[in-house]
Structure 1
Amino acid sequence: MRVAVILSIAIATVTGLVGYTLKPSPAIQLQDGTVYFAEPPRLVSATTTYNEVYVWGATYYFTLNLPENAGEPLQKVTINQREGLDYVRFDLKNTVAFAETSSHTKQKLGLKDATSDRKTRTTSLIFDPPVDPGKTITIALQPRQNPSVSGVYLFGVTAFPAGKKSHGQFLGYGRLTFYSHGHSIFSPFGW
């Protein structure tokens, strides 16, 4: 008898949820006006087209997923080099960002500003217009040259919602590993 009652409640609950649709979550705003994501974006991946030291012409891709229930559009992303012996400088004039569409094509996103601070090793990108929730976006950064020192390079990614006073949400580290493949930092001839 008890199992039948529990089963009846479970069926009634599932039946009641069938017609339910998820509604976007409102953003979180503190009394002082600071805006937070209701559900923060997620760092999906970080990749590079070339992983050898000294290489020219590489592109580093950072892919983020902004959930439907984020509550606010994505206004800004910062990418901070946290680890790696050589400082990676980016050619910001060639920076692009795009969103993946349902037909698996790429829709270019507008960038209002792309800046870099050498002292903090941080690259900042501001989207114009801000990116709506429910999108997967990829940021493509071109280094002037891959690092000259092999090893693991960690890039901390932080996302900011739209608003005059927004709180950045740290999404994690993009990890890129560069290999020497016979190059030596002591000799230009690889000895």
Structure 2
Amino acid sequence: MRPRVLLRAAIASITLINGYLLPPSSAIQLQDGTVYFAQPPRLVNTITTYNEVYAWGATYYFTISLPENAGEPLQSLAINQREGVDNIRFDLNDSVAFEGKPSGKGQKVELQNVVGDGKTRTVTLRFDPPVSPGKTITIALKPWQNPRSTGVYLFGVTAFPQGEKSHGQFLGYGRLQFYNHSDSWFRPRGFYGIWP
């Protein structure tokens, strides 16, 4: 095969993203070592088992889909309460992650550590091992108690690829709405939130 033909084949197998050349399905790494997802994960849905204020025993589920062409495994997630009157605190020791969606729990995903920051209202979860591309996982956070105030509570979700210096990709907001018991007496028990 002649050199020009080889060069064209090589160029055809390279993708240009944000001004950087990279082979298909490979992560983007800048000269300073910062790693980016080639294709970021997606926040599929956010739901709760109980949507009444003051309720005990609720679980908040955040489902994330990591595409096949992510280019890099998912190392960690940061879930930050961005909106809502009350500051929701979680029992971090009771946090779990698993493959699949809440309605069909799959294999457990190991968490290396779960850290909370009350000032920024952020929970950070680190996976060990990192989650491979092509998987859908769900994070289950257990609040000590649902908020006292009704209304919409927004949680920003940011994903970080594997790497010593990784760039967080904001995936969007998980939205939960809480009601007074008198307003929600007619609502059946089950999952509440965003479901595709």
Q: Which runs of 4+ in 1 moved over 2 A?
A: none
**Does the 8 Å CA contact 1:24/1:68 hold for their aligned counterparts?**
no
Label 1:57 to 1:24 Cα distance change in 2 as closer, same or farther (>3 A): farther
Distance in 2 (alpha carbons) for counterparts of 1:116 and 1:81: 11
| Residue of structure 2 in register with 1:57 after alignment | 57
Give the 3-state SS of the residue equivalent to 1:153 in structure 2: strand
Distance in 2 (alpha carbons) for counterparts of 1:50 and 1:108: 23
Specify the structure having the higher radius of gyration (Cα).
1
TM-score, normalised to structure 2, is 0.79
RMSD: 1.5
Query: Could you list the per-position Cα deviations for residues 6-25 of structure 1 after superposition, in whole angstroms to 9, with x for gaps in the alignment?
Result: xxxxxxxxxxxxxxxxx960
Distance in 2 (alpha carbons) for counterparts of 1:105 and 1:55: 24
Asked if residue 81 in structure 1 is aligned to residue 70 in structure 2, the reply is no
Distance in 2 (alpha carbons) for counterparts of 1:56 and 1:167: 36
Query: Could you list the per-position Cα deviations for residues 64-103 of structure 1 after superposition, in whole angstroms to 9, with x for gaps in the alignment?
Result: 00000000000000000000000000001110000129xx
Q: Which amino acid aligns with 1:106?
A: G
Give the 3-state SS of the residue equivalent to 1:175 in structure 2: strand
Query: Could you list the per-position Cα deviations for residues 161-183 of structure 1 after superposition, in whole angstroms to 9, with x for gaps in the alignment?
Result: 00000000000000000001238
Distance in 2 (alpha carbons) for counterparts of 1:90 and 1:105: 21
| Residue of structure 1 in register with 2:137 after alignment | 137
1:1-191 equivalent positions in 2, closer than 5 A? 25-100=25-100, 106-182=106-182
**1:105 CA drift (Å):** 5.1
Listed as ranges, the gaps of 5+ residues in structure 2 are 1-22, 184-196
Give the 3-state SS of the residue equivalent to 1:106 in structure 2: coil
Give the 3-state SS of the residue equivalent to 1:76 in structure 2: strand
Give the 3-state SS of the residue equivalent to 1:107 in structure 2: coil
Q: Which amino acid aligns with 1:131?
A: V
* Percent of aligned pairs with the same amino acid: 70
Give the 3-state SS of the residue equivalent to 1:177 in structure 2: strand
**1:115 CA drift (Å):** 0.6
**Does the 8 Å CA contact 2:98/2:105 hold for their aligned counterparts?**
no
